[in-house]
């Protein structure tokens, strides 16, 4: 039922030296995958998207939140397979209640790490994992004592023992940490909403648009269904939401207008005075708008639209069963310099993955000496006035990036700050369907 393993201290020490994007110091990383490797990793059946209100399926801090998990924090070097369920029975056949249908191929989960005792990372995948091994990619990076979130797209694993729900596997590489998972959507072959790649566009910046900082326990509404953006009939939008200059430790939660704010689920967790971004996928209200809630204090909010799902979309999602690394600048002899653009080849050149419109990736910055940000965008040329990952000195931080690709199967990463190391892990393709 529960796949929990712990590696030896010797094995753990060895893996720390090869941890992907682990800490803000030079490190030997897992080798970058060649373009053909992605096809070999295996993909799921192309599927449409269904967005849902954030639904908590794991909270290691509270047994009552997720009764299937009864061992507290994840340990160092531990794999933990969890059902995507809100509750499971305690007696055979252990039936589960799940927001994710059994025919689903992948899920979008907002992953929050809190109370970590060491700098480290957590990886999500469909594979169960084996003792004494570590994944070649990372999903969320953190410092000791930090609370941080990241939206992660991951292929689902085998059915839980009850047969009522799919699973995902988490791996924690160092120390102990609590992990919270909130499902915000899933992919299934029967869904009719498809991905629409967009030119990243900034629709709100409270620092300059006259709205000012968002107050505590307050809500601000944004029009996201807009013909000029290509989102007129969008049922869900893909946003990059940035919180900056907050006066208190707090969090932001996005949800469709006309609905109740989710009881559980935060999208952007930020400490006082910091700048933190996270990708957000949120259903659109009947009036074409979304609401954004701030828990406490005052904070500036920046909203970039980077994609959408809806009936006029063209892309079905095919998840990699095992994510692969497409770029690690530490492996190719240097950092991405200020004002420079890295071209990331995400689609195999052998034709094994045809008709790709876009990709889903996890982009990590490390080796940071000054504040800055990266912008991920399709094609070459000048980057748009948007941001994907914001970082401050000494941080190692990741954010999900949903982006269109060129006809050659590449996308671009532009650096707006000082020299940094950049890691890009591919989690799936959007293919014409």
Q: Are residues 209 and 279 in the same domain?
A: yes
DSSP string computed for 236-276: EEEEEEEEES-SSSEEEEEEETTSPPPSS--SEEE-TT-EE
Cα–Cα–Cα angle for 248, 251, 255, rounded to 5 degrees: 145
Confidence band (pLDDT; 50, 70, 90) for 145? very high
Q: Are residues 294 and 265 in the same domain?
A: yes
pLDDT (tens digit per residue) in 276-309: 999 999 999 999 999 999 999 999 999 999 999 9
Burial class from Cβ neighbours inside 10 Å (0-12, 13-18, 19+) for residue 223 reads: middle
pLDDT (tens digit per residue) in 65-95: 554 555 689 999 999 999 898 887 766 666 7
Q: Given a cut of 80, is residue 356 above it in pLDDT?
A: yes
pTM, two decimals, is 0.88
List % helix, strand, coil for the chain (3-state, nearest 5): 5, 50, 50
Structure tokens at 279: 């990708």
The pLDDT value given to residue 88: 77
Q: Are residues 144 and 42 in the same domain?
A: yes
Confidence band (pLDDT; 50, 70, 90) for 14? very low
Confidence band (pLDDT; 50, 70, 90) for 164? confident
3-state secondary structure at position 38: helix
pLDDT (tens digit per residue) in 33-49: 333 334 435 899 999 99
Quote the CA–CA distance of 285 and 144 in Å, as a whole number. 38
Q: Are residues 292 and 324 in the same domain?
A: no
Structure tokens at 283: 């259903």
Q: CATH number, domain at 415?
A: 2.60.120
Q: Are residues 235 and 166 in the same domain?
A: no
Q: Residue 15: enclosing H or E segment and its boundaries?
A: helix 9-16
Q: Of 173, 188, 203, which residue is a domain's last? A: 188
Q: Are residues 220 and 258 in the same domain?
A: yes
The pLDDT value given to residue 282: 97
Q: Are residues 270 and 250 in the same domain?
A: yes
Q: Are residues 64 and 180 in the same domain?
A: yes
Residue 331 has φ and ψ, to the nearest 5°, of: -85, -10
Q: Which of 52-56, 252-256, 424-428 has the lowest mean pLDDT?
A: 52-56
3-state secondary structure at position 206: coil
Q: Of 275, 290, 310, which residue is a domain's last? A: 310
Per the prediction, the chain carries an average pLDDT of: 87
Q: Given a cut of 50, is residue 20 above it in pLDDT?
A: no
Contact 24, 236 (CB under 8 A): no
Q: Are residues 183 and 212 in the same domain?
A: no
DSSP string computed for 271-334: -TT-EEEEEEEEEPPTTSEEEEEE-SS-BEEEEEEEEEEETT--EEEEEEEEEEEEEEGGGGTS
Q: Which of 182-186, 189-193, 260-264, 342-346 has the lowest mean pLDDT?
A: 260-264
pLDDT (tens digit per residue) in 357-407: 999 999 999 999 999 999 999 987 899 999 999 999 999 999 999 999 999
Residue with tokens 């971004």: 277
Contacts of residue 362, defined as CB under 8 A and 6 or more positions apart, other chains included, come to 137, 138, 139, 150, 152, 323, 398, 399, 400, 401, 424, 425, 427
Q: Are residues 181 and 96 in the same domain?
A: yes
Contact 36, 326 (CB under 8 A): no
Half-sphere exposure of 114 (CA within 13 A, CB side): 15
Q: Of 188, 211, 245, which residue is a domain's last? A: 188
Total domains in the fold of the chain: 3
Confidence band (pLDDT; 50, 70, 90) for 13? very low
Quote the CA–CA distance of 236 and 186 in Å, as a whole number. 12
Residue 403's domain comprises: 315-432
Region 413-417: mean pLDDT is 96
Q: Are residues 267 and 392 in the same domain?
A: no
Q: Are residues 288 and 325 in the same domain?
A: no
The pLDDT value given to residue 11: 22
């Amino acid at each position: 039922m529960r796949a929990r393993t712990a590696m030896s201290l010797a094995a753990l020490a060895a893996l720390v030296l090869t941890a992907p994007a682990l800490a803000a110091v030079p490190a030997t990383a897992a080798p970058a995958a060649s373009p053909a490797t992605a096809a070999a990793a295996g993909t799921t059946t192309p599927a449409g998207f269904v967005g849902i209100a954030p639904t908590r399926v794991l909270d290691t801090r509270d047994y009552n939140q997720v009764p299937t998990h009864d061992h507290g924090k994840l340990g160092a070097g531990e794999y933990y397979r969890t059902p995507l369920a809100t509750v499971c029975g305690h007696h055979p056949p252990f039936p589960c209640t799940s927001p994710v249908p059994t025919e689903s191929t992948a899920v979008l989960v907002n992953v929050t790490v809190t109370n970590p005792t060491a700098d480290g990372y957590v990886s999500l995948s469909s594979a169960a994992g084996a003792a004494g091994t570590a994944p070649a990619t990372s999903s969320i990076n953190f410092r000791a004592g930090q609370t941080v979130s990241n939206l992660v797209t991951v292929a689902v694993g085998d059915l839980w023992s009850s047969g009522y729900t799919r699973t995902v596997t988490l791996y924690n590489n160092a120390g102990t940490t609590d992990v919270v998972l909130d499902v915000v959507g899933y992919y299934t072959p029967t869904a009719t909403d498809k991905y629409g790649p967009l030119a990243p566009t900034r629709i709100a910046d409270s620092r300059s648009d006259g709205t000012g900082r968002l107050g505590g326990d307050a809500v601000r509404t944004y029009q996201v269904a807009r013909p000029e953006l290509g989102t007129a009939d969008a049922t869900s939008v893909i946003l990059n939401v940035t919180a900056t200059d907050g006066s208190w430790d707090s969090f932001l939660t996005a949800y469709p207008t006309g609905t109740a704010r989710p009881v559980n689920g935060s999208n952007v967790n930020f400490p006082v005075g910091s700048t933190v971004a996270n990708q957000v996928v949120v259903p659109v209200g009947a009036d074409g708008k979304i609401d954004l809630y701030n828990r406490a204090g005052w904070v500036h909010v920046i909203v970039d639209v980077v994609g959408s799902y809806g009936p006029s979309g063209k892309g079905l999602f095919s998840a990699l069963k095992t994510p692969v690394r497409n770029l690690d600048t530490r492996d190719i002899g240097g950092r991405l310099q200020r004002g420079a653009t890295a071209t990331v080849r995400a689609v195999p050149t052998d034709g094994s993955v045809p008709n790709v419109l876009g990709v889903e990736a996890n982009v990590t910055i490390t080796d940071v000496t000054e504040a800055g940000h990266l912008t991920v965008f399709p094609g070459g040329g000048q980057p748009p006035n948007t941001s994907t990952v914001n970082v401050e000195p000494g941080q190692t931080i990741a954010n999900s990036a949903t982006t269109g690709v060129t006809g050659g199967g590449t996308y671009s990463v532009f650096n707006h700050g000082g020299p940094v190391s950049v890691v890009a892990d591919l989690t799936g393709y959007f293919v014409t369907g």
